Structure formats: structure tokens, C-alpha cells
Structure 1
Amino acid sequence: MMTRQLFVIVLFALIIGCKQNNNISIEPSNPLIKYVGRIDFSDANAPEIFWSASEIEIQFTGTSVSATLVDEKGLNYFNVVIDKDSVYPLKLDKGSKTYLLAEKLDGNIPHTIELIKRNEFKTGKTAFKGFYIEDGELLQTAANSGRLIEFFGNSITSGYAINDNTGGDSPDSTYTNNYATYAALTALHFDADMHATVREGTGIMVSWHEHIMPEIYNRVNPYDSTSIWDFKKATPHLVVINLMQNDSWIVKQKNYPEFIRRFGDTAPSPQEIIKAYADFVALVRAEYPNTPIICALGSMDATKEGSEWPGYIKSAVASLNDKAIYTHFFKYTNKKGHPRADDNKIMAESLITFIEDTLAWK
């Protein structure tokens, strides 16, 4: 028979043991997880991520946290943001794998983990299968400013080659990092969530690939024309459109297959270019009737001195007769290839100042 003293000792040991092994698995459908972006929840316990800047965030107590991810191609990178101030890139392997995101944490205080997609959808989709926390519990995610900014853009906004400091302009997914773009920096400045509807090489009239923005702007799965995003799920407080850089090149490439497919043998006239841009902005306005829209361009050569493309955009915006649609042009970055991280900091400063002055955001 167990003595009273022995019973107390055993009970105490069990309590301590339970406390030390308070390890929990968190299913993707848990309502305490914060999701940002166009994420496909057809399977609530394996939501699929396609678009740049898509984010999964939790707040928790614990000593370590892991996540299970299933990557289609093994080409994707996510940024892991710990407690809002420590960031490192996580390279995913093809297939399913559980990744240790953070360890040796102080288990007595709340922590946050954010998983933020760096790459465009061309590097493949990623399914999220849940978190695992050691010695802790899941908490309600802290609220931010409540603002949301949506960006429609091309390689400039996706962060193509933004971290390539080799002197080249590499398409390798290692160097693509949406988190370092002017778009992400602007959203961070205003403590805003961000949607990035972006793909490199994309135009409004013609692209270097098969899709133009008016064909994919409303999709969850960019490759599936039946996968339609419900715009009512997240109404942004601001939309920024930075497109037409690719159009400005391809309309001069009469032998390029996409030129031929879109235009035949005749380049579009200025009036057709202006109308195409206005028509796309009108599509966005139809989804967001009350949201300010900034029609931007740059900082590549579509905004160099003498370029007609800023004028096309000004004319298109004027034709819409909408006082909540603005234009803002980034100064031409006169260098080889795409804007790098330092260039994007300058672009962010320009856009932030414009937003503060025009919309009175603080």
C-alpha cells in the first residue's frame, strides 16, 4: 500500500512532468492562427499558398516551435520572423517536411512566429499542415493597425533578383525576396497587412509569358481560371498598381510570340494603351468601390526621362474621373537589371511620403 508521503511525492512528480511536457500540435484550421493573403482553404487542414507575401502567424508561449510544410517543387523560400525583429530565410525541400523554426526560447513570455512567402507562384505551391509547440500554448495573435494594402505588380513588386549582388540579374529563387521590396517596406512602415498579386514579366496588355494581369488579378490559384478569389474576404485600405514596365518593352518586339498572340502584326496605339490601363483600373475599382488607388510606375526604364509611359497612365487615370485614384512615379533606377534592396528602400521612402501627404496616414 502506498504511504501518504509517497503518494504526495508521486503526485508532485506527475504534475511537474505534465508541466514540462506541455507539447501541443496545432491544426491549420485552428482559429487562433492568423492568415494573410490569397490562400486556398479548400482543404482546411492543408491550405495551399501560391502568392508572394502570403503569411501565417501565431502568438504562443513555449521553448520551441516547428511547422510542417509540403512544397511542390523544392524551390520556395519563406522568411521566418521571430518576435517581429529577427528574420531568416527558410529553404523548403520538395515534399512534406517538419521544420524547426525557433528553439531555446524563453517559455515564460509570449512569442510570435511569422512564415512569409518570398517567392512568386511560378516556384510552386506550398501546403501548410500545422505547427508544433514544445512546453507552451497557443495565444490570441496580437492585433496590428488593422490596415491592409494590396499591390498589383510585376517583377519589381515581387522582388525578383532583389538580393542578387553578384552583378547579375538571376532568376534563381534564392535571390527573390518580396519581403525586401518597397511594397513590403511600405506595409511594415504603416503596420499594415499586405496582399501581393504579382508575377515577374507580367503586363496589362501583354506579358513575357502566357498571362496578363487582367486574366489573373482575381484568382486564388493563378493557374486555374475557375479558382476565383472572393474580394469581400479582405477589403484593402489602399491599392497600389505598379504595372506597364513589361508592356513598354514587348509592344516593340513584333516578332515575340506573345506580341503576335496579343496584337497580330500591329503594335497598339497610344489610345489603345491608355484604354487598356484604364480598363484594368476600372476592374479593380469595381471590386473596391471606396478604396484609394495609387497608379504607380517605376523604378525601371519606363520612368526614365523622355518616356511616354507615365503620360499614358496619367491620361488613363484622368479618363476615369475618380478623385480617389492617384498617380505616383518612382525615379528611374539607372542601373543594369532589377532594383536591389537599397533601391527599394528609396522607393519605399518615396511611396510612404506620398501616402502620408496624400491620404494623411500616420
Structure 2
Amino acid sequence: MRVYRIVFLFAVLFMGLQANAQKVIGFKDEHIRYMGRVAYQTDAVKLMWSGSWVQVNFTGTEAKVSLKDERGDNFFDVIIDGKIVVLHPDAEKRTYTLAKGLSNGMHSLFIFKRTEWADGSTLFYGFEFNQGAEVNPLPPAKNRKIEFYGDSITSGYGIEDFEGGNNSYLPPFKNNYLSYAGLTAKHYDAQYSCISKSGIGVTVGYTDMTMPELYDRLDPNDKNSHWDFSKFTPDVVVVNLFQNDASMMRQGDAPQFKARFGNQQPSEEFITEAYRKFIQNIRSKYPNAQIICALGSMDASKESLPWRGYVEKAVSRLNDKAIMTHFFDYKNTPGHPSVEEQKTMADDLIKFIDNHVKW
């Protein structure tokens, strides 16, 4: 019996030594870079917004990540050396193997949040690498910075719902990485911030909040959580809103409409001024940014509807040469923009930026 106990003890010690042999770096390690509005907590970083990402470079053959999701509803793109796999963490703290058997050279690793803050937040604790691995300094952050404010179109809602007409609310079908916003940021190799929420509007939407009530939060679920705008100063800001305002204006009996307006439709002046004030608030945070007030590509962008006019009138009143308008063509298909339609939007926006923006 004593021999077995000794063997067992050595086995436990051996496993402990093996575990300690792993290269472990915590969430505060200087070699890790975060993008987007993330919240530092005592033992982890809280990832909330669509498009938030974690980046590290390492030399080694194996990589793991420790995560805990709020409800098990979030999905992430894990991008290693440009190759993408999807990670779906659950609501228990776990360590997930991201890659094994890599060549023993330098590798780039991104973990990109595909889903929205309404799908819950995710706690990131750190990375583990194989014995002998090294964590390498990241190159300097890219000079270009771009920030988006938008709704489901910008979030990438339903983008991979290939069977259901791109309208599924389920998290697996959301993918901000393939949204026009994500694609545009990737094209310019820019630092990227995305403040978006499906259903949100400027004056009213399918949510309890409007974007003017949400845009300055760090934690979108906490009205007392304020973002420090000095931490990220974009060169270009793209605002693509009003789709949900347009939809709700046709639903006077909806509780969200009644809560805002009762039984009376808001005036064109009210709508225009609400948009102008929001853009003015963005300008006050970023005095030197070039701001693109966009609309589309769902039905609010129809030329026969008044929403383009509201945007144009609001921008005209601001009398600011660095605030521009850009309207995506109405896609004229059911549901939310598909992967292909999002790419068309990205190509369109990139062309506009190339012609009108000086980085």
C-alpha cells in the first residue's frame, strides 16, 4: 500500500510539474493587446461589444485560452495566422485549446467577438502556451483608427443565416467580422471600435434605449458606466442609424413607440434635430475626426422615403466640412444584409472613404 501511495504521490507531483511547465500569461500581460471598449476587472477583462478583440503573438506549437461566458450565447472567431475557427465558450470558466501541432515559429493570434453585448459578456483570463513557448512583443498599433455607431446592419445580425433569409436572431448566425464595418476596418488595417446594437434607433427602436442614450457607455448594460473617449480617438467615425426609427414609425401601437411618443407621430423637425444633436455629441468627443453620416442598405435608404432627407438636413445644419453624408443603395431583398450584401456595402464605403477622406 505504501508503494502505491508513493507512486500516486509522484504521479500527482509530475502532473503538477507538467501543468507548471505551460507558459501562462494573464490578462494584464503587457504582450496582450485589446481592441474596442473592454472593462478591466479584478481577475479578468470583460468583453462586451461586437468586434472587441484580443491579440497576442507567440513562438510555440500550442495555444489555449481561458474564458467564461455570461450565458453561453457568445461566439468568437479565433484567427491564427489568418486561419479562422469558431469558438463557443460556455458559462463555466474553462481553458480551451485553440491550436496544437503548429510549426515552432512565430504565430499571430486574434480572438474576435462576433456577437452582440445583448448576447452577454465574456470574461477573458489569459492564455496558455506549450512548454518552451515565448510570447513576442506586438508590433506598434496601426496608425489608422475607425469607429462605427450602428444597429443590426453594423452588428452583422443574421448575416450567416443562409437558410432563413438572414433574419435569425440567434447568436450563431451573427458575425461582426463579416459586417461592412469589420470588412472596412480590415481593408484599411485600422484599429477598430464598434458601438452597435440590433434594434436601436436615434429617436425610437426595438430596444428600451436609443443610441444617444447608449453611445457613451463602457458597459452597455450600466447607465452609470462611462467610457473615457480619450482612450480611443478615431480618424474616421461612421454613423449608420435610422433603420429602426423608420420601422417603428410605421408601428404606432408598439409599446416602444408609445413609451416615447404616446399616440402622436413625432415631427420631421424633432427627428432631424435628434439626429443633429447626436452627431454634434460625437463631434464634441472627437473634434478632429472625419464623420460619415451613412444610411442603408435596408428600406430606410429608399429614395422615396424621408430618412435620407433627415440626415442631409441635420448635416447641413451642422455646417462642418468634415461631416459628410453617404447613402448605401437600397438592397431590395428580404431580411438583413447577407454576407455578399455586406461586402457590397464595404466596397461602397471604401470607395467613398478613398475619395473623400484624408487619413
Q: TM-score range by the shorter chain?
A: over 0.9
SS in 2 for 1:258: helix
Displacement of 1:141 = 1.2
Name the % identity. 43
Which residue is 2:85 aligned to? 88
Q: Distance in 1 between matches of 2:125 and 2:337?
A: 35
Q: Distance in 1 between matches of 2:144 and 2:41?
A: 26
Counterparts of residues 25-174 of structure 1 (less than 5 Å)? 25-43=24-42, 45-83=43-81, 85-107=82-104, 109-134=105-130, 135-168=132-165, 169-174=167-172
Is the Cα–Cα contact under 8 Å of residues 238 and 291 in structure 1 kept in the other structure?
Answer: yes
SS in 2 for 1:311: helix
Q: Distance in 2 between matches of 1:51 and 1:136?
A: 31
Q: Distance in 1 between matches of 2:232 and 2:164?
A: 39
1:218-273 C-alpha deviation (Å, 9 max, x unpaired): 11111101111100011011100000000011122111111111111111111111
Gapped regions of structure 2 (runs ≥ 5): 1-16
Displacement of 1:144 = 4.9
Asked if residue 295 in structure 1 is aligned to residue 293 in structure 2, the reply is: yes
Is the Cα–Cα contact under 8 Å of residues 59 and 142 in structure 1 kept in the other structure?
Answer: no
Which residue is 1:347 aligned to? 345
Residue type at the aligned position of 1:180: L
Instruction: Choose from 225, 231, 234 the match for 2:232.
Output: 234
Displacement of 1:42 = 3.3
Q: Distance in 2 between matches of 1:128 and 1:261?
A: 37
Is the Cα–Cα contact under 8 Å of residues 147 and 236 in structure 1 kept in the other structure?
Answer: yes
| Number of positions where the alignment pairs a residue of Structure 1 with one of Structure 2 | 339
Residue type at the aligned position of 2:114: R
Q: Distance in 1 between matches of 2:153 and 2:192?
A: 16
Residue type at the aligned position of 1:117: K
Displacement of 1:32 = 1.1
Q: Distance in 1 between matches of 2:21 and 2:133?
A: 6
Deviates more, 1:137-146 or 1:164-173: 137-146
Is the Cα–Cα contact under 8 Å of residues 153 and 241 in structure 1 kept in the other structure?
Answer: yes
Counterparts of residues 152-301 of structure 1 (less than 5 Å)? 152-168=149-165, 169-301=167-299
Q: Distance in 2 between matches of 1:347 and 1:190?
A: 15
Which residue is 2:8 aligned to? none
Gapped regions of structure 1 (runs ≥ 5): 1-17
Is the Cα–Cα contact under 8 Å of residues 203 and 212 in structure 1 kept in the other structure?
Answer: yes
SS in 2 for 1:295: strand
Is the Cα–Cα contact under 8 Å of residues 144 and 191 in structure 1 kept in the other structure?
Answer: no
Q: Distance in 2 between matches of 1:74 and 1:111?
A: 28
Instruction: State TM-score, norm by structure 2.
Output: 0.92
Is the Cα–Cα contact under 8 Å of residues 252 and 267 in structure 1 kept in the other structure?
Answer: no
CA RMSD of aligned residues (A): 1.3
Displacement of 1:360 = 4.0
Instruction: State TM-score, norm by structure 1.
Output: 0.91
SS in 1 for 2:173: coil
1:16-58 C-alpha deviation (Å, 9 max, x unpaired): xx9xx96310010011100001000132x31101100000000
